[in-house]
Amino acid sequence: MSENNFLPSTLEPIDIFNFRMSANSISQLIQHKSDYNPDIYQRLIRINHNSQRLNEHIRYSLPIVTANISKLTFNDTINIYQEIDEQLISNTNQQQINELNNAKEQLKQGIHYDINELISIIKFIIKKQIKYNDNISGYQLTQDIEKINLRYQRKKNNLQELITEKQTQLKQAIEKIDVIIAAEEIIIRRKLKSLFEQSLPSSEKLSSLSIPSNEIEILKMTLSFLSEFIDVIDSGLEFSLLVNARIILAEKRITLVLALQTLTYRLNSLTSKLALSDDINQINQKRKYIYQQSQNLCLIWQYYSDQLTIALHHSEFIPQLTLTLQKFSAYIDNLAYHYNRLLTD
């Protein structure tokens, strides 16, 4: 039966099954989210804790309310009260009338006591539920997630620029190593070793060599590379061994490879963290949904509490109370039914 049959149009019905599904999915979604951000993760744990406690609180409240309604509707107190009213209408014996009125008053006091006890239970349920609601509402995530994601994205962009820069440097180092190796082969094959033993030959001297032009260009490129190293090390240094330059470049290549590995690891870590934010945003949406559904349920609890209070002071006390209890009982049964449904994974 639809909840709309038990509630006025001013109250929003709740979807208790999806409420439970949302609480259940939060428990699954928070797994492996500690890497995103320690503070956010602690808030996720508290959101999950309060969502589960709220879910349990509602689940355990339903049979308590049902038992107290049953105590009123199935112990014949209300029926006896109505029978006394009928006897008073037809009875003319004053003594019997007094006895019936006394019995009626005692029953009325008993009904009032039971109703007030039920109202007290509802108020306690609302009070505890509001505590969980406030806790769930207090763990705001949206703005902090946006700030953290923005910070992560900036770091990611910087890392991508650094990686591109290091990749370019690595490519250049490898190209220089290849050129120097080619130059070494040319020098050995063309017997030009003496030309490089004491100092670097000039570009003009290289151009005058009787070797193919492409080999001359390789030697000139090597000369350029060696000049770079001499400038870095010592402008007056004699550079006689090409292998020294190759070793320096090889060491640079290793350094660049290690740097790229570190940067790539950091980039992948940030990418993973940004991916985790999708699940965290889902948790945040479910948190809001759980809070709103619970708020709606608090209003429904309060509505029936007010209706019971009104019934106690109604001119047609018994009919009004009976109708209210019937609706309330049917509503609780409807909630209990959805709590007994199996959740889908």
**CB under 8 Å to 295, separation ≥6 — which residues?**
133
Instruction: Report, as ranges of residue numbers, the positions in the chain whose pLDDT lies below 70.
Output: 1-5, 73-75, 91-92, 97, 100, 192-200, 202, 227-242, 342-345
One-letter amino acid of 88: L
This prediction's pTM: 0.76
Torsion of CA 212, 214, 217, 223, to 10 degrees: -70
CB under 8 A, 24+ apart: contacts of 209-213:
211/186
- The span from the CA of 75 to the CA of 73, in Å, is 6
Give residue 106's pLDDT.
78
Q: Where are the domains of the chain?
A: 3-155+276-340, 156-267
- The span from the CA of 68 to the CA of 48, in Å, is 31
Q: Name the class of domain 3-155+276-340.
A: mainly alpha
* Cβ-based burial of 45 (10 A; exposed 0-12, middle 13-18, buried ≥19): middle
Write out the DSSP string of 216-275: HHHHHHHHHHHHHHHHHH-TT-----HHHHHHHHHHHHHHHHHHHHHHHHHHHHHHHHHH
Give residue 280's pLDDT.
94
CA-closest candidate to residue 16, choices 26, 27, 24: 24
The separation between CA 332 and the C-alpha centre of its own chain, rounded to angstroms, equals 31
One-letter amino acid of 2: S
Residue 344 Cα distances to 24, 73, 289, 310, 336, angstroms: 10, 35, 18, 41, 17
CA-closest candidate to residue 321, choices 154, 105, 119, 36: 119
DSSP annotation of 198 reads S
CA-closest candidate to residue 230, choices 242, 216, 217: 242
**Are 215 and 225 contacting, i.e. CB atoms less than 8 angstroms apart?**
no
Torsion of CA 228, 231, 234, 240, to 10 degrees: 30
- The span from the CA of 147 to the CA of 338, in Å, is 39
